[in-house]
Structure 1
Amino acid sequence: MAPAPDKAPAPDEAPAPAPADDGRPVQIFQVSTLYGAATLAASLDAGQFGPRADARRLLLISHNAEIPETALRLETMTGYERLAARFDGVLDWNETIHPYHPATWAPRPEEAPLWQRVLRTAWDLGSVPVELIVESIQVNPAKALAGTFPESSLHVYADGLMSYGPTRNDLAQSIACRIRRVLHLDLVPGLRPLLLSEYGVEPELVPDDAFRAVLAEIAEEAADDPDITRAAAAEPTALLLGQYLAALNLLTAEEEEELHVRMLRGAAAAGHRSVVFKPHPTAPASYSTVLQEEAERTGVRLTVLDGPLLAETFYERCQPRLVVGCFSTAMFTAAVYYGIPVARVGTAEVLERLTPFENSNRIPLTVVDHLIADLEQGEEPAVPGAAPDSLTPLVRAVGYCMRHKSHPGMREETTVYLAAHHADPDIAHHFDTDRLTQLGLPGGTEAPARGGTTPSRLRRGLVRSRRG
Structure 2
Amino acid sequence: MTVTPANPRTTAANPRTTTAKPRIQIFEVSTLYGAATLAAAIDAGRFGPAADVRRILLVSNNAAIPETALRMETMTGYDRIITRFDEVIDWNEAIQPHHPATWSPRTEEAPLWQRVFRTAWDLGDAPVELIVESIQVNPAKALAFVFAESTVQVYADGLMSYGPTREELPQSIACRIGRLLHLDLVPGLRPLLLSEYGVEPELVPDDAFRGVLAEIAEAAEGDRTLAEAVAAEPTALLLGQYLAALDILTADEEEELHIRMMRGAAAAGHTSVIFKPHPTAPARYSTALNEAAEEAGVRLTVLDGPLLAETFYERCRPRLVVGCFSTAMVTASVYYGVPIARVGTDTVLERLKPVENSNRVPLTVVDHIVPDLETGAGPAVPGAGPETLTPLVRAVGHCMQPKLYPLLRDETARFLDSHRGDADMARYFDAERLTQLSLPGGGGPAPRVGASSRLRRSLIRAGRG
TM range (shorter): over 0.9
Partner of 2:291: 293
Partner of 1:5: 2
Partner of 1:264: 262
Contact 2:184–2:204 at 8 Å: present in 1 too? yes
Cα distance between partner residues in 2 of 1:312 and 1:387 = 22
Contact 1:107–1:144 at 8 Å: present in 2 too? yes
Q: Counterpart amino acid of 1:356?
A: P
Cα distance between partner residues in 2 of 1:174 and 1:283 = 39
Residue by residue over 1:273-314, the C-alpha shift from the partner in whole angstroms, topping out at 9 and shown as x without a partner, is 000000123434553621000000000000000000000000
- In 2 relative to 1, CA 218–32 (structure 1 residues): closer, same or farther, beyond 3 Å? same
Partner of 2:47: 49
Contact 2:262–2:293 at 8 Å: present in 1 too? yes
Partner of 1:216: 214
Cα distance between partner residues in 2 of 1:132 and 1:99 = 23
Partner of 2:396: 398
Shift of 1:445: 1.1
Cα distance between partner residues in 1 of 2:21 and 2:384 = 45
Cα distance between partner residues in 1 of 2:11 and 2:425 = 50
Pairwise mapping of residues 279-290 of structure 1 onto structure 2 (< 5 A)? 279-284=277-282, 287=285, 289-290=287-288
33, 36, 41: which one pairs with 2:34?
36
Q: Does 1:411 align with 2:409?
A: yes
Q: Secondary structure at the match of 1:143?
A: helix
Partner of 1:327: 325
Contact 1:164–1:191 at 8 Å: present in 2 too? yes
Normalised TM-score (structure 2)? 0.93
Partner of 1:346: 344
Shift of 1:19: 4.2
Residue by residue over 1:357-402, the C-alpha shift from the partner in whole angstroms, topping out at 9 and shown as x without a partner, is 0100000000000000000111110000112211000000000000
Q: Counterpart amino acid of 1:263?
A: M
- In 2 relative to 1, CA 111–20 (structure 1 residues): closer, same or farther, beyond 3 Å? farther
Cα distance between partner residues in 2 of 1:19 and 1:91 = 16
Cα distance between partner residues in 2 of 1:41 and 1:21 = 21
Partner of 2:229: 231
Contact 1:242–1:325 at 8 Å: present in 2 too? yes
Normalised TM-score (structure 1)? 0.93
Contact 1:7–1:18 at 8 Å: present in 2 too? no
Q: Counterpart amino acid of 2:401?
A: R
- In 2 relative to 1, CA 389–15 (structure 1 residues): closer, same or farther, beyond 3 Å? farther
Q: Counterpart amino acid of 1:154?
A: V
Shift of 1:119: 0.3
Pairwise mapping of residues 109-148 of structure 1 onto structure 2 (< 5 A)? 109-148=107-146
Cα distance between partner residues in 2 of 1:26 and 1:313 = 31
373, 378, 381: which one pairs with 1:380?
378
Partner of 2:251: 253
Residue by residue over 1:70-125, the C-alpha shift from the partner in whole angstroms, topping out at 9 and shown as x without a partner, is 00000000000000011000000000010110000000010011000000111111
Residue by residue over 1:5-25, the C-alpha shift from the partner in whole angstroms, topping out at 9 and shown as x without a partner, is 2239x9xxx985554622431
Partner of 1:101: 99
Contact 2:440–2:446 at 8 Å: present in 1 too? no
Contact 1:105–1:141 at 8 Å: present in 2 too? yes
Partner of 2:359: 361
- In 2 relative to 1, CA 122–389 (structure 1 residues): closer, same or farther, beyond 3 Å? same
Q: Does 1:276 align with 2:274?
A: yes
Q: Secondary structure at the match of 2:36?
A: helix
Q: Does 1:313 align with 2:308?
A: no
Contact 2:28–2:57 at 8 Å: present in 1 too? yes
Shift of 1:142: 0.2
Contact 2:152–2:177 at 8 Å: present in 1 too? yes
Unaligned runs of at least 5 residues, structure 1 = 459-468
Cα distance between partner residues in 1 of 2:59 and 2:231 = 34
Cα distance between partner residues in 2 of 1:266 and 1:310 = 23
Contact 1:18–1:88 at 8 Å: present in 2 too? no
Q: Counterpart amino acid of 1:63?
A: N
Partner of 1:160: 158
Residue by residue over 1:223-275, the C-alpha shift from the partner in whole angstroms, topping out at 9 and shown as x without a partner, is 21111100000000000000020111111111111000000000000000000
